[in-house]
A and B are shown apart, each in its own frame.
Chain A
């Protein structure tokens, strides 16, 4: 339904636009000269050795045909311009666009853009989707059989562990349906500008996006029962923006209003529990299914209880309304004042779900009918700038943002944990609010043949509610230099920063969502990195210069370092160093060559301490992780164009080599730590070539070939399967591939 509606909107808008064309293309005066340059008809062929979705993650190179069109019309008085573009017409990533411009009067833009996003192919689900697409269901006999098997195991006082559960579920997985997980965005846009080039102009923009498909969603019935499912995506977003722009001799100002509405056709997802056909509850049901018998004492622990069906509150419908204005006043010939202001309201009032669907639980009544959430963002920014004799330029900027959540705080006497257990721990919602104020001053000096030197100082202050700190302040100083020294272009910048927070770091903030605080369970030495004290350095330098008259060389070196020097736990450091070289060369008329290479070396460190039921005070329980990520990228290309031929060859290689060094002192818990070498290791090689030959001035033929080879070794996807300890996974393929894609085309010009 969404797709049909979108298509009708597009065609309707197009018809309206065509009706609005005064004079049209078939009218008497002025005449239009139409050129079609080009019309390309392409046949595609794809050969891939795996079912991985990664090769076509955001594109469609599948077997078939596609169209590319570039049509331009220009009136003989040069006052009207028409452009029609089609890119990849007929494919999942097709773009269709039309622009019509009447010089000095109005213009219209229409577009319809398709963006696929494929997450994985050939995943497996034990579930089937109902007709309304809001529930994933398992056949009752399967649920009944699995529950009965667990009950029998408990009755026989035998352990329920991964081996047992895996043996039960594998026969069903062997015959389960497969699913490709992915979604499609379809974006329609219409933009009408009236009064172009005049003292006052108006702009009306309409946008609509339909997003349909699925994506991975982690649903869970407890610690031992992750049930990954394809989340049904049926989103609709509509935006309308009306703005006016006014110009006068001393400035320009724009003001407008925007309304955006998001709707989710599937607001609640229901999903069966593979292991239960009947509802039950017990204090340990959140760890179901699991059962152990102590061989020494004979005591048992664990649970096979829980709900037979779970439900997930998917993204609620929401609205955003925004009034905005921005502009510039030219105070004198050499000074200016810029401003930008906006007031934006966000609200969301979806009906609230019940606490639970588990009939074995007597949950508190739901006292609230709907979410009743409302927040607003106020924003103001003012820039003053001026140029002075002697090549000086001064800039002063002030920025203020205030995000205020004015929603009422809702409290419940408890909540149902993982659909399985009523926890009578009263909770209350926390409306997070914050504000930010930045003050920046910059001074630049033109040093003539020595380029331009600039100094900038900035103070960035955050105030927060319900967080660990009330105020954090960061001071930054930056020095930059840009110069053309003879044939060389030199750019350099260094910035240092120092952030700290006022007052104490309040660990009590974590209790904001408890009606009756139960005590701190976060480590006192933890500092959340968004508020932690830190020192920062950022720097880069690049030099570009010609070499031997035909080469253009650019070399660069840069880095950043964030040192959370007062954080005992949490993120403690993040440092990146990168360097690279670009080499370009013109190869006579119509020819070019380039090669570039870059390396980025990133190190991230963090620390924590493992605790049991209460925060550990034993430093032997500390653990530390140091991540090292080395990314190498390399590109090379050659192109040549003559009157009859166009040729292009490109190569690209990307490699990531990551490592996690993990350590923990011996004698505590976890008692040593073991790192891994596959902290996101991957390689991608891409080779492509294009060859086009002009047969006549109006006809050309061409061939394109693309080869890609992608391998990945990642700890997070290491040896995954559809069923692993405590997790039933879709396990859709977005991994390795080697793929060939070829396109044969006919190119026409009229």
Chain B
């Protein structure tokens, strides 16, 4: 009778107890292991991006972006002093030879690293279509962005949030190799190469929702008129800014009419121009003009004399991030390279930076 009622010392109870405790132990260990060991940094990041995108804006702040800045050193066998004292630095050794084949191969590796960094950043961050920063730091961020007053990118200043996806540094030895750096041609690489051999689309097609297969003539001309601005370290920055509402509809419509801004788009231009067009509250028709006219002052970070300042952006309604009213927010996302040593530009572009250093 005692056994039937489940006495404390019955074998069934003891087995049940062991099973339950063992289950707890396994689940607990899985919870922590999955988080820390079982997944790559990219998977953890992607998971945190998706987690953020799938919760209400008011709870987003509880889920920080678990993404870490990738540190890539491009060298000829030497280290990058820029990363002294920093963890998880990936070093890519380029061919050192002076012959044409080696220098071309080295240049292609630089292009590949840059294109991959840009695409990886764009892809990890949900191709700019996810609302990731509405709820973070709600005390100052949400209120300041949404209370801009004059609507989209108002005069008093939208406050964009950034994540620095990657930092790419050139080693001291590589920095001196103009024969290699002068062969870097991001425009050609993006238009002709694919992220993987299996991929059917080029980077350019992926960035532009397949709309653009080659650059318009005016862009080619502007690419070739790069400035002499150089840097030994660039950062691919993901930036997102929210809009209050209706002005963006107008902006997207206006942009669509230009045939350039539909869904994702790729453009060239220095940060200053970009932030200007954000800051002045102009519509995209004007913004697009500013971007194009600003090309000549671009950022030739690989000393190529060509403008390498490609950025990819998405503006419109986000696919996630419902507000309490059940509406989806609108805004713009962009991935672009910036000179990491130019703190003014980074401060101009980003009001706040999230993620792990």
The answer to whether A and B interact is no
Instruction: Write the residues of chain B forming the contact surface with A, with a CB cutoff of 8 angstroms.
Output: none
